[in-house]
Amino acid sequence: MSGEMTQTFSDRLRGIHAATIVPMTAEFEIDETSLAAHLAAVASTPGINGLLVNGHAGENFVLSLAEKQRVVELAREYAPKDCLIVSGVNHESSLEAAREAAVLERAGADGLLVFPPNSWALAHADDCVIAHHRHIRDATSVPLMLYAAPVGAGAMAYAPSLLEQLVADPRFVAIKEGSWEVATYEQNLRLIRKLRPEFIVLGSGDEHLLTSYLVGSAGSQVSLACVVPELVVSLWNAAEAGDWERARAAHEKLYPLAVAIYRDAPGGRATVRLKACLKLLGRLSCDAARPPQPRATSNELRALEQALRSAGAL
């Protein structure tokens, strides 16, 4: 029996997983040739254990269900056979989210990551959140993951009492911990470890990977790993070995790039900036993102180019 077959989903989720982008043509259609090349190149990087497709970096909020299905199919076709494929599920309607999840499972996803609908940023009742996740759970059979949204995303970030209810569902086995704030990350980590010690917590705030690895993490699903996968892997490997001097050195190279992509206002430009980085690196011919996002500005490009040079990528 192969190693892949003897490992559980949780086992395979450990380490570094790249959250990938979706190349577009100038007319905003998916460029399948470029997407296949992107998926294959990132997934084949030594130390990249899997891919998160149809995440925020993959513009899941502006893709049709047929397009999301195609992304999963291409990932399954072009990534190495032992590559773990997790697909995001993101829809405002719980019924449509459940339908989407079932389609993406049939397309070949090994697991599904449930994103909170954007409308929850304003306000929501806990019962709505539980019901949304249950609709998806009941429509699927693969392992499921939670998403901890950034604390700056309003009510999308789950309070500890709500997170406790979500973690109690045995179909959910992991969380992409994207609180993007160290104190909340540690609070959630400690709560989850107390409730379910086997539950996988992935430190996925690209700007503070080093801190999350120091506090405790099973790995990460991050879009930074689709731009500089070798550097993210080197940070993780150093942290896993307890070589904090080497880990800090990798962090020093990554930090300016993480700031240029994710922190510089407005923060919602991350996907555009990821694509701009890949074009600057010669890995993408067109850096278009779907409207309403315009392409990177001259100021963004200057900051990204400088950060890529600091990271040793250029």
* DSSP assignment of 33-45: HHHHHHHHHHHTS
- Is the distance from CB of 278 to CB of 227 less than 8 angstroms? yes
176 is catalytic: yes
* Half-sphere exposure of residue 122: CA atoms within 13 angstroms, side-chain side: 3
- Is the distance from CB of 228 to CB of 257 less than 8 angstroms? yes
- Is the distance from CB of 113 to CB of 89 less than 8 angstroms? yes
Quote the crossing angle between the two packed helices 126-138 and 94-107, to the nearest 10°: 30
Residues 6+ apart with CB under 8 A from 66: none
Residues 6+ apart with CB under 8 A from 85: 50, 51, 53, 72, 75, 76, 79, 108, 109, 110, 111
Find out whether the peptide bond into 292 is cis, omega within 30 degrees of 0: yes
- Give the C-alpha separation, 314 to 166, whole Å: 43
154-157-158 Cα angle (round to 5): 135
Catalytic residue among 68, 78, 81, 147: 147
CA distances from 287 to 23, 71, 125, 181, 262 (A): 7, 18, 38, 29, 17
Catalytic residue among 68, 78, 81, 176: 176
Tokens of 208: 């503070």
- Give the C-alpha separation, 90 to 131, whole Å: 15
255 is catalytic: no
Catalytic residues: 147, 176
